[in-house]
Amino acid sequence: MKLNTFPSTIVIFLVSSLLLSYSCKHLPLNDGIIIPVDPTGNGNNTGSQCSPDTVYFVQQVLPLMQSGCAVSGCHDAITHKEDLRLDSYSDIMATGGINVNNPTESKIYRAMVKTDEERMPPAPASPMNSSQLALIVKWIGQGAKNNSCIESGCDTTNVTYTNHIKPMVQNACQGCHSGAAPGGGIELSTYAGIKAVADNGKFYGSISHLSGYNAMPKNGNKLTDCQIKMVQIWINQGAPQN
């Protein structure tokens, strides 16, 4: 009696399928952790979770520079006074005299701590405060990286003026809206000034880029959704000085 056999084409198909199935199995990459690609080409990874021990250029340093230094008539792309252009990472590194081995000797830092007419930002704008100066020194000391981070979450359970709103305004707004001649006549270096624009709707309308309002920060990126949400919550609470 003749035994039934599979056609040779079926056998070849089954063997090929087994080999393909085996070859397509992937080993875990770094135990499932995907290392983000650095789109800047500067050798610094971006997109990692924010760490309280690290100063991030995109979220913390750049807003300070854009608000307090890279403004019209000073160190923006058009004016670049004294050949200093401080509106982007590449320009800061190229013209700011960054010294990672001795951060306080960096050109931009030495200009920020001056007490005469050469101080940056120049009068009538308010000078950088101690916490802002410390932030810049720490960033330079950590290698002056073009780094960024992703917020792990938006905690809005206890939004306060002292811990959330005031630091936000200092970093992103106060460079333009302070001193003897604040931008647009809006002074944001005091609680009273911030409270006034919170009450009249200009604060939320401007940072949310709503129609009919001047989009703020003027020289920088739009605040994050989390920051805008915090401002909204604080205003809805009556904008208290808490």
Asked whether residue 135 falls in the same domain as residue 225, the answer is no
Q: Are residues 53 and 141 in the same domain?
A: yes
Lowest-pLDDT choice from 28-32, 94-98, 105-109: 28-32
pLDDT at 72: 60
In a domain, 29, yes or no: no
Q: What is the pLDDT of residue 129?
A: 87
Closest CA to 72 of 155, 143, 168, 175: 175
Provide DSSP, 137-187: HHHHHTT-----EE-S----TT--IIIIIHHHHHHHTTTTS-SSS-GGG--
Is 80 exceeded by the pLDDT of residue 73?
no
**Res. 232: pLDDT tops 90:** yes
Range in 21-25, 33-37, 73-77, 162-166 with the lowest mean pLDDT: 33-37
Give the list of residues 6+ apart from residue 11 with CB closer than 8 angstroms, or none: none
- Does the residue 23 lie in any domain? no
**Last residue of a domain, which of 118, 149, 180?**
149
Total domains present in the chain: 2
